[in-house]
C-alpha cells in the first residue's frame, strides 16, 4: 500500500483511500464536506519519534506541548496521556490544561498578555514556571506570589533577534539594569529558565543555531548581573513530522546539543515546546470542488477562514475521488471567502481530470488552522477523531456551536 503525503496512517489501497483503518469513502457517504479529521495514532507516533530522538541526545530534557497549535480538548487529552507537559499562552488554555489533568508541575504558562487572574491561577496551582514576556510582568508575579507566600519559578522569554520579532525581552544595558534591580527587590520569584523561540517551520539547523546563539548571548548577560539560570528552553519550531523525517530531526537535535557543548554552556535541563511536530500531519480536511474554471482554478468549499495562511501549514492536495490518477497538472485552489485573496495554493500538482463535486483531501492541517481560523460567516466543520477502525465525532457545530476556548 502506498502512503499518501508521506503519512503512514494515510494510504492508497486498490484505488481507495484508507485513513488509519477506515475507508474515506465510507466516511464521505455518511457526512457532508467539509470536515476535519484527526489521527490519534499519528499524534502518538509523532510524540514517540520526537521523544526517541531527544532522549538519545539529552539525558535531562523536558517536553511541553504548545497548546496554541491545537487546543481541542480531545487532542490535548491524547498528549497528556503520553505524559508530555503543557505550554499555555493564556488563561483559557491554562484552565483547560488543569481541567484535562496535566500535572501542575508539568505546566509552563505565560504569554504577551498575562491578566492577573492567569498569574493568580498559575501560582495557586503551583505550576512549574511562569514565562515572563516583559519585565513588568515579573513585578506582578512577585506580588501575587507574596500573597500566596511562595517563591515562584520564572522563565524569561528573550527576544529571538529574528528580523522584526517583537516578542520577548531585548536585553540592552537598560533592561539588564532593570532586571538586576528587580531581582533584588522581588523576593518571591526565582529566575530558573531562559526561553527563546525563533519561529515556526524551522527546516534547517542554521535557524535553530541563530536561536541558540541568542540564548547563549543572554546567558552571558545574565551571569554578568549575577543570574545563573538552571534551564534552557529552546521553544518549538519543528515542521510537520512528515516534512521533517526522523533522521533529519536527529541531525538537528544532535547539532543543538553540540553547539551548547562547544560553547561550554552548563545547564541542568533543556526544554522543548513542540506544537506543529506533534499534531500538524495528524489533521486533514476533506473538502469538495465547487467549481472549476478553464484555467484550472478549482474552488473548494473551505477557505482561509478555516484553513488560514497564517497557520503556515505545508498543505498537500489530493483528488480523493480520483486518487488512482497521477497528480501532475498545475492547479490553483481557491477558497470560499469572497475575496480574490482567498488562495489556498497556486499551481499545485493535481489530477489532470477534475470536476465539480470531486472530494479533495488536504493534508497537514492539524496545527494552527483552528487557532487562526476566523469568524467569517460560514458554518464550522464537523471534526472527527480516528483511531484504528474507530471514528468519533469530537466537534459538532450544530450542538456545540463553537470550538474556541472561554
Give the CB-nearest residue to ligand PLP. 236
Minimum CB–partner distance for residue 305 and ligand PLP (Å): 21
Residue whose C-alpha is closest to residue 31's, from 353, 287, 354: 287
Least distance in angstroms from the C-beta of 83 to ligand PLP: 18
Nearer of residues 66 and 363 to ligand PLP, judged by Cβ: 66
Q: Could you tell me the smallest distance in angstroms from the CB atom of residue 184 to ligand PLP?
A: 28
Nearer to ligand PLP, 69 or 252 (CB): 69
Closer of 88 and 334 to ligand PLP (Cβ): 88
Binding residues (CB under 6 A) for ligand PLP: these are 66, 69, 87, 197, 200, 235-238, 273-277, 367
- Residue closer to ligand PLP by CB (options 273, 358) is 273
- The least CB distance from residue 256 to ligand PLP, in Å, is 14
Q: How far is the CB of 193 from ligand PLP (least distance, A)?
A: 12
Closest CB to ligand PLP among residues 24, 69: 69
Comparison of 275 and 335: residue with beta carbon closer to ligand PLP? 275
- The contacts of residue 168 (CB under 8 Å, 6+ apart) are 133, 157, 158, 159, 160, 195, 196, 197
Is 85 or 237 the residue whose CB approaches ligand PLP more closely?
A: 237
Min. distance of Cβ 70 from ligand PLP in angstroms? Answer: 9
**Shortest CB 100 distance to ligand PLP, Å:** 18
Compare residues 200 and 304 and give the one whose CB is closer to ligand PLP: 200
Identify which of residues 341 and 404 has a Cβ nearer to ligand PLP in the complex.
404
Cα–Cα distance for residue pair 298/132, rounded to 1 Å: 45
Rounded to a whole number of angstroms, the minimum distance from the CB of residue 215 to ligand PLP is 12
Go through 194-223 and write b for each residue having 16 or more CB atoms within 10 A of its CB, e for each that does not: bbbbbebbbeebebbbbbbebbbebbebbe
Q: What is the nearest approach in angstroms of ligand PLP to the Cβ of residue 233? A: 8
Amino acid at each position: 500500500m502506498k502512503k499518501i503525503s508521506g503519512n503512514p496512517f494515510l494510504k492508497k489501497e486498490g484505488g481507495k483511500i484508507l485513513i488509519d483503518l477506515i475507508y474515506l469513502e465510507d466516511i464521505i457517504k455518511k457526512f457532508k464536506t467539509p470536515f476535519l479529521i484527526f489521527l490519534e495514532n499519528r499524534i502518538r507516533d509523532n510524540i514517540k519519534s520526537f521523544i526517541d530522538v531527544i532522549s538519545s541526545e539529552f539525558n535531562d530534557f523536558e517536553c511541553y506541548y504548545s497548546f496554541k497549535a491545537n487546543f481541542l480538548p480531545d487532542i490535548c487529552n491524547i498528549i497528556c496521556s503520553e505524559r508530555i507537559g503543557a505550554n499555555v499562552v493564556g488563561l483559557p488554555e491554562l484552565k483547560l490544561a488543569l481541567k484535562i489533568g496535566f500535572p501542575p508541575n508539568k505546566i509552563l504558562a505565560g504569554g504577551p498578555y498575562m491578566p492577573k487572574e492567569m498569574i493568580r491561577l498559575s501560582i495557586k496551582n503551583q505550576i512549574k514556571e511562569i514565562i515572563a514576556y516583559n519585565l513588568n510582568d515579573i513585578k506582578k508575579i512577585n506580588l501575587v506570589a507574596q500573597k500566596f507566600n511562595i517563591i515562584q519559578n520564572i522563565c524569561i522569554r528573550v527576544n529571538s533577534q529574528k528580523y522584526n520579532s517583537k516578542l520577548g525581552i531585548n536585553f540592552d544595558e537598560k533592561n539588564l539594569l532593570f532586571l538586576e534591580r528587580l531581582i533584588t527587590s522581588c523576593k518571591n520569584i526565582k529566575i530558573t529558565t531562559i526561553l527563546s523561540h525563533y519561529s515556526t517551520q524551522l527546516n534547517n539547523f542554521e535557524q535553530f543555531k541563530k536561536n541558540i546563539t541568542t540564548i547563549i548571548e543572554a546567558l552571558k548577560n545574565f551571569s554578568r548581573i549575577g543570574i545563573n539560570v538552571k534551564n534552557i528552553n529552546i521553544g518549538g519550531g519543528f515542521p510537520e513530522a512528515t516534512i521533517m523525517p526522523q533522521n533529519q530531526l536527529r541531525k538537528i537535535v544532535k547539532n543543538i546539543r553540540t553547539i551548547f557543548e562547544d560553547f561550554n554552556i552548563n545547564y541542568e535541563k533543556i526544554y522543548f515546546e513542540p506544537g506543529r511536530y506533534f499534531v500538524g500531519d495528524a489533521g486533514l480536511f476533506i473538502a469538495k470542488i465547487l467549481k472549476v474554471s478553464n484555467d484550472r482554478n478549482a474552488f473548494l468549499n473551505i477557505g482561509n477562514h478555516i484553513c488560514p495562511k497564517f497557520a503556515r501549514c505545508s498543505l498537500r492536495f489530493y483528488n480523493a475521488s480520483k486518487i488512482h490518477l497521477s497528480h501532475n497538472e498545475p492547479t490553483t485552489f481557491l477558497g470560499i471567502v469572497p475575496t480574490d485573496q482567498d488562495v489556498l495554493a497556486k499551481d499545485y500538482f493535481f489530477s489532470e481530470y477534475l470536476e465539480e463535486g470531486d472530494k479533495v483531501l488536504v493534508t497537514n492541517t492539524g496545527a494552527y488552522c483552528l487557532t487562526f481560523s476566523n469568524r467569517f460567516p460560514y458554518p464550522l466543520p464537523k471534526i472527527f477523531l480516528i483511531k484504528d477502525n474507530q471514528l468519533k465525532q469530537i466537534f459538532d457545530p450544530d450542538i456545540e456551536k463553537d470550538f474556541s476556548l472561554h
